[in-house]
Chains A and B, each alone.
Chain A
């Protein structure tokens, strides 16, 4: 349905998106993952025709939309990362405005407004000014505004950033409803791996402007099939200890987390004893050690060397 072909964008000689190839089939829900500065938003801007690519193409049903952006604008709904609403207007007034600029006929406008308000669960608060809303409510109206014209494809750029759990759940349910019940194709970007795991059929991982991995959750998980994740809780450690652990042959990556040190290690029997020996050598006691199968978060860490929220 929608694909990018060797899509690239440079600003003042600096390449921020580099030969990105991705595709979306009708009714799919696709996750686009990457740390800050990975090039996700620029890619989205090019897909939605707001930015002209430096190289490459964006095709809708096989036709380039770079020279004919109206084609994609008719079928696309974009939920921007920012709250793209007028704070001084009520939710209802905002939706009237956006509905009118989408040329919805008057007879249909009122019905569509009530429908999208129902979807995002804010029908009873529609007359209140946006500036009086909580962050989560604003994000829900932000989504509603993108749904007014019944888009076939919805692009959501980190729609759950900085909101309360209740609103977050509501948004996730909304995305599921759109994708699974209404058959809307969704391109979803997020910093939260669990959201993408929960919502998306396939995902693309971007870093430094490039797609570095793609596939289903299972396919991506296989990247680390020969590896394990070890969560190590020590009674104290410093850079010397970390360097010591890192120097063990089987240890591929060490990351400090709130739970302790997270190690990605090659599956082999002697790695645990090597870790114990290393900690003893540095006079550090192990409080807990937990071995687990790598998650997508670990895959991401393995591929980029960074966590998603870096």
Chain B
């Protein structure tokens, strides 16, 4: 097997065209796509439509009243208390969020329906709504305490969704934007309080974050560059696998394969050599593209070590699968007429790329195609990577790796089955 592996690596590396296309072209395409397309997760395209359940557990009036009462308990003078209560009424955090959703452009995308919690969960399960935004109990009081007095933990808006879809990411972005605005307001309010304090107040408010988004499916947004770096590189590794398998056609046509058979080598050693060489070349290809993307194009900046460990594991698993695909392509090339096999393989890769979201983000495809996403190996890897970027959940990563392992096992079994037996060359 070692001889086959070395031979395949040498043959591939000596072919400059073969080596430059899968290594350089993806990088060029990633740069071009990054410039041409909007940040599809960050900037909501107008085509997005989503239904959101709005659950308010917070009692606003009660929150204001408790805030007012707490001022007296803190021994704040009446004059200061009047100022703070006035500011609190003006801020009215719950209303601020409503204003965000009432905005004409936002309303075009997001249909907000106020529901109770139970009702909202039922509708989410029935897929009648895409997400639930919840203002938790004590939200107003928590925000006001943190904003105006610098006390407590603040408050968090809860966002729950079944799937980390593009729509949910857009909604998440909006809520995060809202929270950032609230934080900025808090800073301004505290700066005012500082001025008050310098004259009359005995306590110093702390400028800090009011809160965040508490429970979100899809914590980080996936940028266009990230998505296309993954999807384009994946499709090029598949074409790379086909290119390595394509060498088998030359071997068959020029009777090198026959010479190999006559040597008494086990035909499966030949297949294993192709698979191993493809694995190494896929690793090199992905390593190079991701390294350039990270360091030169800043595609994967600000991620933790944990993220990179998962990223590498998933990428290695992808390389294993790509290597298995090269085995399947090789078997097809040897078994069938080379031109027909080539056509079938290219159509197959393009179809996989379409359904698997390699050419366009799967979210803009029809629902029926979206459902097939996770059932294609490339779609499975891509969706796992998207979720890994968003959530970094080991459960998701392991599920993805297991899924790809199954695809790999099936592909290898198919390759061995299709690989021509003696007398069939």
Contacts and interface: CB of A to CB of B under 8 A. Distances in A.
Contacts of A101: 3-4, 260, 263, 265
A50 B258 CA distance: 7
Contacts of A45: 258
Interface in B290-344: none
Contacts of B2: 100
Given A74-B264, A93-B10, A69 B253 contact: no
A84 B260 CA distance: 10
Contacts of B78: none
B425 interface: yes
Contacts of B74: none
A88 B250 CA distance: 12
A83 B14 CA distance: 19
B140 to A, nearest CB: 73
Nearest to A77: B262
Chain B at the A interface: mostly helix, strand, loop or mixed?
helix
Interface string B1-13: 0111011001100
Contacts of A145: 259
9 pairs of A and B residues whose beta carbons are closest in the complex: A52-B423, A88-B14, A100-B3, A80-B255, A84-B255, A101-B263, A73-B264, A84-B256, A84-B259
B262 A50 contact: yes
Interface in A236-274: none
Given A86-B7, A89-B14, A97-B3, A73 B263 contact: yes
B262 A89 contact: no
A238 to B, nearest CB: 43
A29 interface: no
A78 B263 CA distance: 10
Contact of A80 (B14, B258, B422, B423): B258
B422 A84 contact: no
Contacts of B11: 86, 88-89
B45 to A, nearest CB: 47
Contacts of B261: 50
B10 A88 contact: yes
21 contacts: A45-B258, A48-B262, A50-B258, A52-B423, A69-B422, A70-B264, A73-B263, A73-B264, A80-B258, A82-B255, A84-B259, A85-B256, A88-B14, A89-B7, A97-B3, A100-B2, A101-B4, A101-B263, A102-B264, A145-B259, A149-B263
A81 interface: yes
A49 B255 CA distance: 14
A82 B262 contact: no
A13 B118 CA distance: 73
Interface of A: 45, 48-52, 69-70, 73-74, 76, 78, 80-86, 88-89, 93, 97-98, 100-103, 129, 145-146, 149
Interface in B261-290: 261-265
B423 A51 contact: yes
B367 interface: no
A89 B9 CA distance: 11
Contacts of B263: 73, 98, 101-102, 149
A82 B261 CA distance: 16
A201 B259 CA distance: 27
B10 A80 contact: no
Contacts of A102: 263-264
Contacts of A50: 258, 261-262, 422-423, 425
Nearest to B261: A50
B254 interface: yes
Contact of A82 (B6, B253, B264, B425): B253
Nearest to A81: B255
A83 B84 CA distance: 92
Contact of A49 (B14, B253, B262): B262
Given A89-B14, A145-B259, A83 B254 contact: yes
A86 B12 CA distance: 11
A256 to B, nearest CB: 35
B161 to A, nearest CB: 52
A30 to B, nearest CB: 19
B79 interface: no
Contacts of B14: 88-89, 129
A76 B10 contact: no
Contacts of A100: 2-3
A128 to B, nearest CB: 13
B196 to A, nearest CB: 80
Most buried by A among B3, B15, B255, B262: B262
A78 B264 contact: no
A45 B262 CA distance: 10
Nearest to A51: B423
Contacts of A69: 422
Contacts of B253: 82
A50 B261 CA distance: 8
Given A70-B264, A102-B264, A89 B10 contact: yes
B422 A52 contact: yes
Nearest to A79: B259
A89 B4 CA distance: 13
A82 B254 contact: yes
Nearest to B259: A84
Nearest to B421: A52
A183 B322 CA distance: 49
B3 A86 contact: no
B335 to A, nearest CB: 15
Nearest to B10: A89
Contacts of B256: 84-86
A84 B263 CA distance: 13
A82 B4 CA distance: 21
Contacts of B10: 88-89, 93
Given A73-B262, A84-B254, 20 more contacts: A45-B258, A48-B262, A49-B422, A50-B261, A50-B422, A50-B425, A69-B422, A70-B264, A78-B258, A78-B262, A80-B259, A81-B255, A82-B255, A85-B254, A86-B256, A88-B14, A88-B15, A89-B10, A102-B263, A102-B264
B415 to A, nearest CB: 20
Nearest to B3: A100
A52 B264 CA distance: 16
B259 A78 contact: yes
Nearest to B12: A88
Contacts of A83: 254
A76 B423 contact: no
